[in-house]
Each structure stands twice: as structure tokens, then as C-alpha cells.
């Protein structure tokens, strides 16, 4: 389920795309009730909003953001969002030119020979390619990087907020397993983790009640991210992802092509929702550390170390936000709700997570 919609069994092919199962497709719909702070959309989020609107179906996320923004600025929901559309370069595409560009920029020289062979297998039998939208949104780089490096923590927060049932465990330094609870399971391995690029290889399997044989798929996801700090001190992330998917079964491949428009719509919209989640957590850490602490206390499926790391990060982000407020307004800063700021998180412990 995503965007408040129940997924028809025939649409499970799009949910099957392994990297989207683990990184995107099971992403929750974040409603206004779940948000700890008012989060009206700004012009910087125009690309996120426009892509969701272009999908052509109602979305809880977009509606709630408009409503929250309207309350914040005292306008009607339709007036709270800049109606200007994004440039063509911001939209997702499956063009051959984009695919060639993506292939040329894959960090293949940064992975092992064995990993390269697995990557070549997917690239040599790609059934579906998509360059997801290029999105720009305000977020603290440390918050963004933490959740990208620890998707199991993001998933645990979704469960704590009761907006997803997806289970994910870290099984190795760069490996994860996931179970959507509907017959969809998968594994994810981070092949490369660079300053601006992440390369992830996934394998997924879906056991449909309508088929005696499980449906398998493999995929490769390259995420590219850059940050820019504006004169007002706000940091914006610009990111996009290229997705290559391979189905071993020709029958499944044929059906996936038939359902391609639906797959495209769902992948683009879900990538937008993940981006909005990252922004939400960044805002929550800077403005409502008490809400983050309450949510962290409800997390499960992750070691205690991860809870501590999130609280440390929250204290750092909140303290920095308070100092910025004090510097610009001269008003006294508040102490972090999570207590005195612990030492800065400079690295993470990558010990595997025990399934619970």
C-alpha cells in the first residue's frame, strides 16, 4: 500500500521491483496527523510536488502538505503551493539517452570483479529502466546521509508511526534483508557508497496466490546526491536515481512491459514520498526533538545502538538550529529536548541487526 491506495494483485509487478521494495516502493504515506511540525511546501519543494501531481491520482501526502501550508500562511490550499511546473530535466524518464548516460556514470571501477559480474548480468538483461525525477528539497546533510546508510532505521520509524508493516534487518556491513509481509521478500547489498553516488544491487521474490511459481527479479539502483548551502544557511539536497530491473522469466518481462505506465507512475511518486520523509525527519529533529525521542522509543527490529545514534543526531541538529536562530534573531536558544548534545556522530557501527 502507498499513497493511501490498496494495491491490486495485478499491480504487484511494480511492487516487485526489488530496489523499490527495499528503498522506495513500500514507502509509507505520511499524513498531516503523523507530522510533528507544520510543513507547508516551499518553492524549493516545487519539483517534489509537481511530480506527484503529474501522476494524475489523488495523494494523501500532497493534500496534507497543501492543507498544512495553507494553515501556515493563511491562504486557501490551492494558493499555498506555487503552481509553476518543473523543467523537463526534473521529470522522470525512460529515454534511451538517459539510460546511456546512466550506464556511462555507473561507478563500476569502484566495485570488485565479483560484484561487476553480478552487475553486468543485470545490465545485460534489463527488462525495465527508469530515471526517477530529479528532486530538490531542504534537508540537513547528516540526516539525509544517516537514513540512506541505515534504511532499516527509517523502516523501523515507519512502523513506530504505524504507517507501514515492512520489516528490514541489517545482515552484514553492507547487506540488508526485507519482508513486506505480503509475499514480497528481498535482499539488498550496497556495492558502492561514495560522496555523491550510491550503487545498490537487489534481489527480490514475490509469491503470488495467483501463481504456483514465485516471481523473481534483480535490480540495480544508482542514487546521485549533491548538497548546496544558500546564503540564508539552509541546505538543499538535489538527488535522482537510475533503476535497472531484470526479470528472469520472459512471461513476467512481457507483463511488466504491459504494466509499464503504472510502474512508472508508482516509482516516480514513491521516490517523491521518500524525499518528503527525509525532509520531515530533518525538520522534526531541528524543531521537535521531543517528538523524535517519543518515536524512537517505539522503534523495534533495530539494536539499541541505532536508537542512541538517532538521538545523538537529533541533539546535534536541534542544537545547530537553535544556534542559527540565536545568531539571526538574537533570541536566547533553547536547550535540546533530548538533553545536552552528545559527541558528534562521525561514523556508524555496522553490526548486523538481529531479526526480532
The CA distance from 68 to 329, in Å, is 25
pTM: 0.76
Alpha helices, DSSP H, located in the chain: 12-16, 18-19, 46-54, 60-73, 96-105, 113-123, 141-149, 151-160, 250-258, 260-287, 289-296, 304-329
DSSP state letters, 305-332: HHHHHHHHHHHHHHHHHHHHHHHHH-PP
Residue 313 lies in a domain: no
The CA distance from 139 to 174, in Å, is 24
Query: What is the mean pLDDT, run by run of 10 residues, along the chain of 356 residues?
Result: 34 42 44 47 44 40 39 38 35 93 96 97 91 92 95 91 85 91 85 94 79 80 94 91 85 66 76 85 92 94 95 97 82 50 50 62
φ and ψ at residue 339, rounded to 5 degrees? 100, -175
- Residue 330: CB atoms within 10 Å: 7
Distances (CA, A) of 166 to 21, 158, 270: 9, 8, 15
DSSP 8-state secondary structure symbol assigned to residue 146: H
Residue 308 lies in a domain: no
The CA distance from 121 to 135, in Å, is 29
CB burial readout 20-52, b (16+ within 10 A) else e: bbbbbbbbbbbebebbbeebbbeebbbbbbbbb
pLDDT value, residue 276:
84
The CA distance from 300 to 107, in Å, is 34
The CA distance from 100 to 282, in Å, is 34
The CA distance from 220 to 223, in Å, is 10
pLDDT value, residue 124:
95
Q: What is the pLDDT of residues 20-34, one digit of tens each?
A: 544 443 444 444 445
Residue 79 lies in a domain: yes
Residue 309 lies in a domain: no
Range(s) of the domain holding residue 126: 9-286
Residue 108 lies in a domain: yes
What is the CATH number for 241? 3.30.530.20
Which residues, including other chains, have CB under 8 Å from residue 232's CB and lie 6 or more apart? Answer: none
Q: What is the pLDDT of residues 250-287, one digit of tens each?
A: 666 666 666 667 677 778 877 887 888 898 899 999 99
Residue 95 lies in a domain: yes
Which residues, including other chains, have CB under 8 Å from residue 251's CB and lie 6 or more apart? Answer: none
The answer to whether 127 and 253 are in contact (CB under 8 A) is yes
Residue 356 lies in a domain: no
Residue 302 lies in a domain: no
The CA distance from 191 to 202, in Å, is 10
Q: What is the total count of domains within the chain?
A: 1
Amino acid at each position: 500500500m502507498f499513497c493511501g491506495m490498496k494495491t491490486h494483485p495485478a499491480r504487484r509487478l511494480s511492487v516487485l521491483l526489488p530496489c523499490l521494495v527495499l528503498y522506495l516502493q513500500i514507502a509509507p504515506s505520511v499524513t498531516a496527523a503523523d507530522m510533528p511540525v507544520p510543513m507547508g511546501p516551499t518553492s524549493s519543494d516545487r519539483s517534489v510536488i509537481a511530480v506527484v501531481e503529474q501522476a494524475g491520482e489523488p495523494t494523501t501526502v500532497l493534500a496534507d502538505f497543501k492543507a498544512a501550508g495553507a494553515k501556515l500562511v493563511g491562504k486557501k490550499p490551492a494558493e499555498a503551493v506555487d503552481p509553476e511546473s518543473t523543467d523537463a530535466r526534473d521529470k522522470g524518464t525512460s529515454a534511451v539517452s538517459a539510460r546511456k548516460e546512466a550506464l556511462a556514470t555507473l561507478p563500476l571501477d569502484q566495485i570488485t570483479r565479483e560484484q561487476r559480474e553480478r552487475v553486468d548480468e543485470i545490465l545485460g538483461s534489463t527488462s525495465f529502466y527508469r530515471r526517477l525525477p530529479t528532486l530538490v528539497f531542504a534537508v540537513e546533510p547528516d540526516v539525509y546521509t544517516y537514513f540512506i546508510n541505515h534504511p532499516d532505521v527509517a523502516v523501523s520509524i515507519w512502523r513506530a508511526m504505524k504507517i507501514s508493516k515492512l520489516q528490514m534487518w541489517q545482515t552484514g556491513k553492507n547487506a540488508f534483508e526485507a519482508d513486506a509481509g505480503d509475499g514480497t521478500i528481498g535482499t539488498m547489498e550496497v556495492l558502492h557508497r561514495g560522496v555523491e553516488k550510491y550503487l545498490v544491487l537487489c534481489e527480490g521474490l514475490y509469491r503470488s496466490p495467483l501463481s504456483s511459481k514465485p516471481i523473481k527479479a534483480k535490480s540495480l539502483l544508482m542514487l546521485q546526491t549533491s548538497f548546496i548551502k544558500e546564503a540564508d544557511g539552509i541546505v538543499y539536497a538535489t538527488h535522482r536515481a537510475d533503476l535497472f530491473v531484470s526479470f528472469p522469466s520472459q512471461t513476467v518481462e512481457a507483463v511488466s512491459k504491459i504494466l509499464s505506465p503504472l510502474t512508472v507512475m508508482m516509482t516516480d511518486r514513491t521516490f517523491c514520498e521518500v524525499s518528503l520523509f527525509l525532509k520531515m525527519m530533518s525538520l522534526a529533529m531541528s524543531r521537535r526533538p521531543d517528538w523524535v525521542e517519543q518515536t524512537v522509543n517505539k522503534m523495534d527490529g533495530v539494536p539499541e545502538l541505532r536508537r542512541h545514534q538517532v538521538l545523538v543526531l537529533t541533539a546535534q541538529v536541534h542544537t545547530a538550529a537553535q544556534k542559527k536562530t540565536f545568531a539571526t534573531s538574537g533570541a536566547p536558544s533553547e536547550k535540546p529536548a533530548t538533553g545536552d548534545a552528545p559527541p558528534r556522530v562521525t561514523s556508524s557501527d555496522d553490526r548486523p541487526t538481529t531479526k526480532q
